[in-house]
């Protein structure tokens, strides 16, 4: 089938950038991204492309090129479903906060709502693509809903998980390591796979497009995230041992990364991984393993999360200990709030948990992040429900100028690896701070020797 109309349900961090790139690379295909969130869609349609709701390097240029030509953002979900030949589902699949599997399983209510809506509206055959990250065998449930509540039309379900990382979404989408498409082994299933392969083939070399059965594709996505997060927890575990033994985790990572079997990527010790997916996907993997009675498998992967929680807690404990066992009423400047550089996303950012711990110790937190608003910082803390929002507001202030955030602070915590932090005038920052002036570099990005020569007391991760 020659594809001319695609729709994507969910205009978030995956749906927005992915569809923008498909539209840019396939001008002959009309791509409509729909969402229930009117504010988000309005922001995607903002005349000034700098106001689109997601910050990703290079994204606004692509949106500027394709929007209004063959890329559209809309709240009219029904119309987009009705017209499309391929429907991507890119809605959120957060950890369940209620009922069976609470705190572990993926919450599939948004996925099911999409399936029911597609079934109700579709009047001709459709290919439905799971773009969201889903538990293995979710396609079975989607198919059952579509086939049993639909209008008698044929549906093919494909799994096409997204591997982009935030902050590098555009380059990841333009030059993916691979595109994974899982589908049914039937003739119809293979035809559907080919239709989607043809879309990606507009810019992705054929040898990078991998096709599998649906279950392999679904499980590969969880596996990839588990392996990536495992590397971070592994290096973070070694960082604690480094601190006790005089080894330097940066040197250890470099030494092991030169082994071609290990490789250099994803070995950066940190205050802990954040982001909307690693924790959620591993918890989901643990839940799936447990539900099959595979307790050893579940325990093995759960340790990645336990280590990550430990790393965050260890960082805040170390700050308090170093600051003479009290941070009460002390100003602590946070450089960075986003979960990594080059994104405005703060979901599960380590900064939130460090702030929460320090507020419990009655610290005054001053936040500077180049892309995160003060409203978002407070909303993230309120979401934890540790204390009232009045109390959070009383203890946390955001600044639009990093030098002001650091002025008269007792300590600075670097929590996101934004490049601009490295280029700051650290002498000026030092001069404005309380003495002794401490820097806790949760990303190991600053020059220790240079800071110590200014007079800072510097503590990195794992050295
Ligand atoms: P997101 O929260 O940014 O976006 C999801 C959007 O879906 C929201 O705007 C929400 O309003 C919308 N939505 C929910 N239900 C809807 C419905 N019934 N109809 C219309 N719109 C609806 O989430 P995200 O970060 O884009 O992640 C989406 C999925 O992709 C998740 O499964 C995630 O695990 C996966 N994923 C995310 C990333 C990432 O880097 N963020 C990378 C790979 C995969
Ligand atoms: C991750 C994966 O890298 C993507 O392939 C995947 O598509 C995505 O999850 C998803 O499924 O959502 P993302 O979370 O956007 O992408 O960003 P990463 O670059 O993986 O970083 C995750 C966290 O790990 C960040 O907090 C980052 O600072 C931290 N990290 C990363 C480290 O602490 N050390 C490292 O060496 C690498």
How far apart CA 320 and CA 459 sit, in angstroms, is: 13
- Tens place of pLDDT per residue across the chain (463 aa): 789 999 999 999 999 999 999 999 999 999 999 999 999 999 999 999 999 999 999 999 999 999 999 999 999 999 999 999 999 999 999 999 999 999 999 999 999 999 999 999 999 999 999 999 999 999 999 999 999 998 899 999 999 999 999 999 999 999 999 999 999 999 999 999 999 999 999 999 999 999 999 999 999 999 999 999 999 999 999 999 999 999 999 999 999 999 999 999 999 999 999 999 999 999 999 999 999 999 999 999 999 999 999 999 999 999 999 999 999 999 999 999 999 999 999 999 999 999 999 999 999 999 999 999 999 999 999 999 999 999 999 999 999 999 999 999 999 999 999 999 999 999 999 999 999 999 999 999 999 999 999 999 999 999 9
pLDDT for 62 equals: 98
3-state secondary structure 246-278: CCCHHHHHHHHHCCCCCCCCCCCCCCCCCCCCH
Secondary structure letter of residue 94 according to DSSP = P
Residue 436, Ramachandran bin (φ over 0: left; ψ between -120 and 50: alpha; else beta): beta
**197's tokens:** 């392969």
Per the document, the length of the chain is 463
Beta-bridge partner residues of 33: 8, 73
Q: pLDDT per residue over 273-306, tens digit each?
A: 999 999 999 999 999 999 999 999 999 999 999 9
Nearest CA to ligand 1 atom 3: 12
pLDDT for 394 equals: 98
Residue 225 CB–ligand 1 contact under 6 Å: no
The residue whose CB lies within 8 Å of the most ligand 2 atoms, and thus the one to mutate among 232, 268, 445, is 232
Torsion angle of C-alpha atoms 104, 110, 113, 114, degrees rounded to 10: -120
β-strands 71-74, 86-89 pairing: unpaired
Rounded to whole angstroms, the maximal C-alpha distance in the chain is: 74
Q: Which of 7, 114, 277, 406 is labelled catalytic? A: 277
Nearest CA to ligand 2 atom 14: 275
For residue 380, the SS3 value is helix
295-322 helix and 214-245 helix, angle to the nearest 10 degrees: 40
How far apart CA 191 and CA 1 sit, in angstroms, is: 8
Residue 263, Ramachandran bin (φ over 0: left; ψ between -120 and 50: alpha; else beta): left
**Phi and psi, residue 63, nearest 5°:** -65, -40
Nearest ligand, measured from the Cα of 39? 1
Q: DSSP string spanning 298-344?
A: HHHHHHHHHHHHHHHHHHHHHHHHHTTT--TT-EEEEE--SSSTT--
Q: Give the residue ranges of the annotated binding site.
A: 10-15, 35, 40, 91-95, 132-133, 162-166, 221-225, 261, 268-274, 277-280, 339-340, 347, 443
How far apart CA 171 and CA 282 sit, in angstroms, is: 25
The residue whose CB lies within 8 Å of the most ligand 2 atoms, and thus the one to mutate among 93, 340, 344, is 340
Residue 10 CB–ligand 1 contact under 6 Å: yes
Q: Pocket around ligand 2: residues whose beta carbon is below 6 Å from it?
A: 133, 162-166, 225, 228, 232, 266-268, 270, 273-275, 277-278, 339-340
**Phi and psi, residue 205, nearest 5°:** -60, 145
Distance 236 CA to ligand 2 centre (A): 14
Please provide the distance, in angstroms rounded to a whole number, between the alpha carbons at the two ends of the chain.
Answer: 58
Distance 335 CA to ligand 2 centre (A): 19
**Phi and psi, residue 32, nearest 5°:** -120, 125
pTM greater than 0.95 (yes/no): yes
pLDDT for 150 equals: 86
Distance 29 CA to ligand 2 centre (A): 31
Nearest CA to ligand 2 atom 30: 273
Contact by Cβ (8 Å): 201, 209: yes
pLDDT for 461 equals: 98
Q: pLDDT per residue over 16-58, tens digit each?
A: 999 999 999 999 999 999 999 999 999 999 999 999 999 999 9
Q: pLDDT per residue over 297-340, tens digit each?
A: 999 999 999 999 999 999 999 999 999 999 999 999 999 999 99
Q: Give the residue ranges of the annotated binding site for NAD(+).
A: 10-15, 35, 40, 91-95, 132-133, 166, 277-280, 347
Residue 130 CB–ligand 1 contact under 6 Å: no
How far apart CA 80 and CA 76 sit, in angstroms, is: 7
Distance 94 CA to ligand 1 centre (A): 9
Secondary structure letter of residue 399 according to DSSP = -
How far apart CA 268 and CA 461 sit, in angstroms, is: 10
pLDDT for 225 equals: 98
Residue 348 CB–ligand 1 contact under 6 Å: no
Distance 269 CA to ligand 2 centre (A): 12
Taking alpha carbons only, the member of 60, 132, 449, 457 closest to residue 277 is 132
pLDDT for 1 equals: 76
The residue whose CB lies within 8 Å of the most ligand 1 atoms, and thus the one to mutate among 16, 19, 90, is 90
How far apart CA 11 and CA 132 sit, in angstroms, is: 12
242 is catalytic: no
The residue whose CB lies within 8 Å of the most ligand 1 atoms, and thus the one to mutate among 91, 108, 383, is 91
Contact by Cβ (8 Å): 358, 365: yes
Distance 340 CA to ligand 2 centre (A): 8
């Amino acid at each position: 089938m020659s594809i001319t109309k695609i729709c994507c349900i969910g205009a978030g961090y995956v749906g927005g950038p992915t569809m923008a790139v498909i539209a840019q690379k396939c001008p002959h295909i009309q791509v409509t991204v729909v969402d229930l969130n009117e504010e988000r869609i309005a922001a995607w349609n903002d005349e000034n492309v700098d106001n689109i709701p997601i910050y990703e390097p290079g994204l606004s240029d692509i949106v500027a090129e394709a929007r209004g030509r063959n890329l559209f953002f809309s709240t009219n979900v029904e119309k987009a479903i009705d017209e499309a030949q391929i429907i991507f589902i890119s809605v959120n699949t957060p950890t369940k906060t209620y009922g069976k599997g609470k705190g572990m399983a993926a919450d599939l209510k948004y996925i099911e709502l999409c399936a029911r809506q597609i079934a109700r509206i579709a009047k001709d055959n459709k290919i439905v693509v799971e773009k969201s990250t889903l538990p293995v065998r979710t396609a079975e449930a989607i198919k059952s809903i579509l086939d049993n509540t639909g209008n008698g039309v044929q549906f093919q379900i494909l799994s096409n998980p997204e591997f982009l990382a935030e902050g590098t979404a555009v380059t990841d989408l333009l030059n993916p390591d691979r595109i994974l498409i899982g589908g049914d082994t039937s003739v119809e299933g293979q035809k559907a796979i080919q239709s989607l392969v043809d879309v990606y083939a507009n810019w992705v070399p054929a040898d990078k497009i991998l096709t599998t059965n649906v279950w392999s594709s679904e499980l590969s996505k969880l596996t990839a995230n588990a392996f990536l997060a495992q590397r971070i927890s592994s290096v973070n575990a070694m960082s604690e041992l480094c601190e006790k033994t005089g080894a330097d985790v940066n040197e250890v990572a470099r030494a092991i990364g030169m082994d071609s079997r290990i490789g250099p990527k994803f070995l950066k010790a940190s205050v802990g991984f954040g982001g909307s997916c690693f924790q959620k996907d591993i918890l989901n993997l643990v839940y799936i393993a447990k539900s099959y009675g595979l307790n050893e498998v579940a325990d093995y992967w759960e340790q990645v999360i336990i280590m990550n929680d430990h790393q965050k807690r260890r960082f805040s404990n170390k700050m308090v200990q170093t600051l003479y066992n009290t941070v009460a009423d002390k100003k602590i400047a946070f450089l960075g709030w986003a979960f990594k550089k080059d994104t405005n996303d703060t979901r599960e950012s380590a900064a939130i948990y460090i702030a929460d711990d320090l507020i419990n110790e009655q610290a005054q937190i001053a936040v500077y992040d180049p892309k995160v608003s003060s409203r978002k910082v407070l909303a993230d803390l309120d979401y934890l429900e540790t204390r009232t929002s009045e109390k959070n507001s009383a203890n946390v202030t955001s600044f639009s100028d990093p030098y002001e955030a650091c002025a008269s602070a007792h300590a600075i915590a670097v929590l996101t690896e934004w490049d601009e932090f490295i280029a700051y005038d650290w002498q000026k920052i030092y001069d404005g701070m309380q003495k002794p002036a401490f820097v806790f570099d949760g990303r190991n990005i600053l020059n220790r020797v240079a800071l110590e020569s200014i007079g800072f007391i510097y503590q990195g991760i794992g050295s």
